[in-house]
Amino acid sequence: MILLRHDCLVFKTMDGECIPCSSEEVTLEIIGDAIGMLDEHVIKQASAGVLHYFKEELGKTTVTIAEFAGALERALRALGLNVQNSASEPAPAARQSWRIARSNLSELAGGAEQAMELVFFSRLRAALQEAMRESPDIVHFRGLKPCVKQLLGAQRWTHGCQSLRDQIVDYLRTCFDNERREADCALVVC
């Protein structure tokens, strides 16, 4: 058995053929020419989130293109983009109005410097707990990259920035998993 790259899924086509492909390539194919009108970073993050959802949360390595397209559409809608694709079925009426709890990570960092990262992480957990009290469909934390640079006092993106970014995302995922329990809710960090 051949191992898939970490950024790949096996996509099942309508004819039953299974094709391993990176989530970014499939995302570009789904979005098509509209990609030029969208923020590339947001699209990459949404694609990575959908990949994580299928691989880590659902434990799937094989999905249909329609499943992936539907999940990508929901992720992009959660980020405030109005998208519709022909591969997915229309959203049920109850889900057309998402309850989204939004937080800005840069505001949470608010003056915290490298020595104050512990203060930031406690603020982050408190913000997540507050958001979860609202029983949202989606908890959206934005401003990850500026927040990391602010905490480290960095002008440019470095390996240290990437490491702190990963720590923040892992911490949020862990806290989110502990807080959501049985709630049907999604976490978006970009």
Q: What is the pTM of this model?
A: 0.54
Give CA–CA dist 173/153, Å, rounded: 24
Planar angle of CA 115, 119, 120, nearest 5 degrees:
95
Q: What is the mean pLDDT of the chain?
A: 77
Q: According to the model, what pLDDT value does residue 86 have?
A: 43
| Residue carrying structure tokens 């982050």 | 124
- Under DSSP, the state recorded for 7 is T
SS3 62: strand
Handedness of CA 38, 156, 162, 8 (dihedral sign): positive
* Residue 119 in tokens: 């203060």
- The H-or-E segment that residue 188 falls in is strand 186-189
pLDDT digits (tens, 9 = 90+) for 71-112: 888 887 777 666 655 444 443 333 345 677 888 998 888 765
pLDDT digits (tens, 9 = 90+) for 128-175: 999 988 888 778 888 888 899 988 888 998 999 999 988 998 899 888
